[in-house]
Amino acid sequence: MVVDLARQLVGSEAQPGYESWGMAYCYGNRIEVVRSHHNPGGELALDGVAEVKTDMVLLCFNKPGVEQPLVHRKNNKTWAFACQGKVPEPAKLLAGEPVIDVRSPQGRFFSYLLDGFNPDDPVGSVEGRLIRGPEEPRFFLMNAETLTISTGGDVPETEPGLWYGRSNLTRVISPVRLQSVPDTEWEPVPERTVMSLTRFRYALT
């Protein structure tokens, strides 16, 4: 299913200009990462997406000069992060341990969110770190148990910034409604909303 979702996203008129993709996904209790090669001006190959078998995935299509998701290990967990929109200025972020290159605005913001993240209260801890403003970034923060999303505040006037799809066995957060997810009810996610999805793994017997 992941590759079908990827094909629809990359072909959407609302998502032009991509030259690479990156994916963080759960494999057991670990986070694994797959990235494509940059392909300026060409069609993106999705072979690596098709090979992944997982029950929770963060898939990013990147425009020139961007390489997401970012990944870092902290507090005995591996974290993946992706961000869209204007990141707060460094002076507005509390000092914290750099996650990756401190020259990266996304890396500084990733570090800032991780410093205050509480796995027992993912929504509350993220809301407590947000810097409100007219251009709040949209971001996704994932470990092997939880995917936490903030929709940001810079939402297009004509369409919602994110859609939430639900079926009996699937939950999807996407910038467009995906026809490749069957029997799914879609609803817009309001701007300036923080939500968290918990992963439940099932043993095969």
What pLDDT sits at residue 12? 58
Taking 80 as the threshold, does the pLDDT of residue 27 lie above it? yes
Q: Which residue has the higher pLDDT, 40 or 124?
A: 124
Q: What is the CATH classification number for the domain harbouring 101? A: 3.60.20.10
Is 205 a domain residue?
A: no
Domain of residue 21 covers 2-198
Rg (CA), the chain: 16
Dihedral, 78, 161, 8, 105 alpha carbons, nearest 10: -40
C-alpha span between 93 and 108 (Å, rounded): 8
Taking 70 as the threshold, does the pLDDT of residue 11 lie above it? no
What pLDDT sits at residue 200? 73
Percentage of residues in the chain having pLDDT higher than 90: 26
- Whether residue 68 contacts residue 106, with contact meaning beta carbons closer than 8 Å, is answered with yes
Classify residue 69 as exposed, middle or buried by CB count within 10 Å of its CB (0-12, 13-18, 19+).
Answer: buried
Tally Cβ neighbours within 10 Å of residue 24.
Answer: 27
Is 89 a domain residue?
A: yes
Q: Which residue has the higher pLDDT, 142 or 9?
A: 142
Q: What is the mean pLDDT of the chain?
A: 80
Is 87 a domain residue?
A: yes
Taking 80 as the threshold, does the pLDDT of residue 40 lie above it? no
Taking the alpha carbons at both ends of the chain, their separation in whole angstroms is: 24
What pLDDT sits at residue 85? 80
Is 204 a domain residue?
A: no
pLDDT digits (tens, 9 = 90+) for 64-117: 888 899 998 888 889 999 998 888 776 667 555 544 455 678 888 898 899 889
Is 184 a domain residue?
A: yes
Taking 50 as the threshold, does the pLDDT of residue 151 lie above it? yes
Taking 90 as the threshold, does the pLDDT of residue 135 lie above it? no
* Number of domains, the chain: 1
What pLDDT sits at residue 168? 84
